[in-house]
Structure 1
Amino acid sequence: MFGYRSPSPRISLTSERMRIRTVGERDSWLLTDYYQENRDFLIPWEPLRDESYFHHHGWEARLSLMCLQQKQGEAFYFLMMDKDERQVWGVANFTQLIHGCFQACYLGYSLAATQQGKGLMFEGLSTMIPALQKQQHLHRIMANYMPHNHRSGALLQRLGFEKEGYAKDYLKINGRWEDHVLTALITASKN
């Protein structure tokens, strides 16, 4: 036995201002709209994207794999939306879930340009993190940010993430290798 692994049903949550849920195979148009509308805004913070990333057919293929990963408990991809679920305001991805003795994952996120400065990412992650910690028995959630991304650093600190290190040339972002500050949120140990 390699450790407890919860079944991975679709997760649906509500915060004060949002509906938050894991992606489904029918969300290709919502994600296409989100990434098309925020393409220029997100360029400095993301890897170079193939043109299919901004088109419906590319998201159809991507969502099939994402839904399989969710079903297998390997990753969870969340949409943060208005209460009517007509527009994606942001996304949060909990990926590379490792169960067994590590019980950890990586967190990545982005928020639409029009939704910046409203506290929505804090609200969304404050809702998602405890739910996923409980359901997946996560002990460690790791999130890393570029040193010049002060907003992301402040958000993670506010959420309780602690700095654990600094990695040179950690990820290739917008075509350049970028240093990252390494942080983690640790669930209180019950031994």
Structure 2
Amino acid sequence: MFGYRAPSPRISLNSPSMHIRTVAERDSWLLTDYYHENRDFLMPWEPLRDESYFQHHGWEARLQVMGMQQKQGEAFYFLLMDPRQQQVWGVANVSQVIRGGFQACYLGYSLAAAQQGKGLMFEGLSVIIPYLQKQQRLHRIMANYMPRNQRSGALLQRLGFEKEGYARDYLKINGRWEDHVLTALITPAD
């Protein structure tokens, strides 16, 4: 269907500073640690989370669903990890993958407080995006950010995303409806 290739059970990508791979069920402790350690730092940029989001049992259940979505090619959940794969430095979530005539997805991401300012998210997305464009044949990658999140806006611009619009009260973030700048990266035609 439109050149779509079913994803392999596990995707592993090369990057100079980190190991990048899709999540597996065994990652519940790694993700629990990442979100627990960065809870306050990420709070202004994410939806309100219930307590299970910061506990191991919650991640065990969540990873089963995420694994199914990855297997079906509906989403890809990437971990940006230290080279020894003992700590999650960040995540890049590719969701709502739509095939057919659209060939599109949404991209969301976060980086640990301790890893800010090192260029790691740019490095990671510079590897993930070509995978999505070439292997998954996605034509449109959409990523949206809150206007006050200037770092995210600058990152997307540096990656080649173009502003396509502005949405008022787009997502409920940290208990408040927040405006978002809408951007997209279009894969050049073959």
Q: What is residue 139 of structure 1 aligned with on the other side?
A: 139
Code of the residue aligned with 1:16 in structure 2: it is: P
Given that 1:4 and 1:99 are in contact with CA atoms closer than 8 Å, whether structure 2 keeps it comes out as no
The 1-side partners of 2:133 and 2:77 are apart by: 14
Question: C-alpha deviations, 1:97-155, integer Å up to 9, x for none?
Answer: 00110000000000000000000000000011101211110000000000000000000
Structure 2 residue 115 is matched with structure 1 residue 126: no
The within-5 A match list for 1:69-80 is 69-80=69-80
Q: What is the root-mean-square deviation of aligned Cα atoms in Å?
A: 0.7
The within-5 A match list for 1:77-156 is 77-156=77-156
Unaligned runs of 5+ in 2: none
TM-score (norm 1): 0.97
Structure 2 residue 33 is matched with structure 1 residue 29: no
Structure 2 residue 11 is matched with structure 1 residue 5: no
Deviation at 1:8, TM superposition (A): 1.1
The 2-side partners of 1:78 and 1:53 are apart by: 17
Code of the residue aligned with 2:131 in structure 1: it is: A
Code of the residue aligned with 2:174 in structure 1: it is: N
Q: What is residue 56 of structure 1 aligned with on the other side?
A: 56
The 2-side partners of 1:71 and 1:5 are apart by: 14
Given that 1:107 and 1:143 are in contact with CA atoms closer than 8 Å, whether structure 2 keeps it comes out as yes
TM-score (norm 2): 0.98
Code of the residue aligned with 1:121 in structure 2: it is: M
Given that 1:25 and 1:63 are in contact with CA atoms closer than 8 Å, whether structure 2 keeps it comes out as yes
| 3-state SS in 2 of match to 1:84 | coil
Given that 1:93 and 1:107 are in contact with CA atoms closer than 8 Å, whether structure 2 keeps it comes out as yes
Report how many residues are paired: 189
Given that 1:140 and 1:185 are in contact with CA atoms closer than 8 Å, whether structure 2 keeps it comes out as yes
Percent identity over the alignment? Answer: 78
Q: What is residue 65 of structure 2 aligned with on the other side?
A: 65
Q: What is residue 176 of structure 1 aligned with on the other side?
A: 176
Code of the residue aligned with 2:181 in structure 1: it is: V
| 3-state SS in 1 of match to 2:59 | helix
| 3-state SS in 2 of match to 1:185 | strand
Code of the residue aligned with 2:6 in structure 1: it is: P
Q: What is residue 14 of structure 2 aligned with on the other side?
A: 14
**Structure 1 segments of 4 or more deviating over 3 A?**
none
The 1-side partners of 2:23 and 2:133 are apart by: 18
Given that 1:4 and 1:100 are in contact with CA atoms closer than 8 Å, whether structure 2 keeps it comes out as no
Deviation at 1:3, TM superposition (A): 3.5
